[in-house]
Structure 1
């Protein structure tokens, strides 16, 4: 955790630069110095004279299965659900309520 120190000593800044150049993560460096990882990165950027590019974050895209994929997962001899099955009735009811909410379009 940080102790609220505001000034950085030249030794601390040099240590940040050397640890980062060795490949240590900002969180590790911050824990070692008792500072925040954001401030360690800021001091590194000031010393090096250029901003550090953030690693590209991979966003998890919502995956919606395609009909062909669903059919491929089913067994070849599987049958559709019978009329009146609870899943079929729920889907039917949701379709009706959505259509009513859209104004019957």
Structure 2
């Protein structure tokens, strides 16, 4: 009997140790609250994807030779330009990070 109690307590600990996704607490949060959390996850996925694409563009731009007229103002302008390109590409479908986050959110309880 002692071993059975030990095993059941271990199973309880394993269930407690299972990570719960942030923003979702179970079936009780279905409906408007769950939709709101999923919308927040979608927005976070879009923002992260835009930042990631912007970072990729910035690093790719650093590999191109600068030329004779390299100025600070150009660098600032290009950073804004890269951010806008990243935002527009994310809105057009991006590279799949937002879709991955959305698919994960749909699997949650």
> Would you call these one fold, judging by a TM-score over 0.5?
no
TM-score bracket, normalised by the shorter chain, equals under 0.3
TM-score (norm 2): 0.23
User: Rg bigger for which structure?
Assistant: 1
Identify, as 1 or 2, the structure richer in helix.
Answer: 2
The two structures have a TM-score, normalised by structure 1, of 0.23
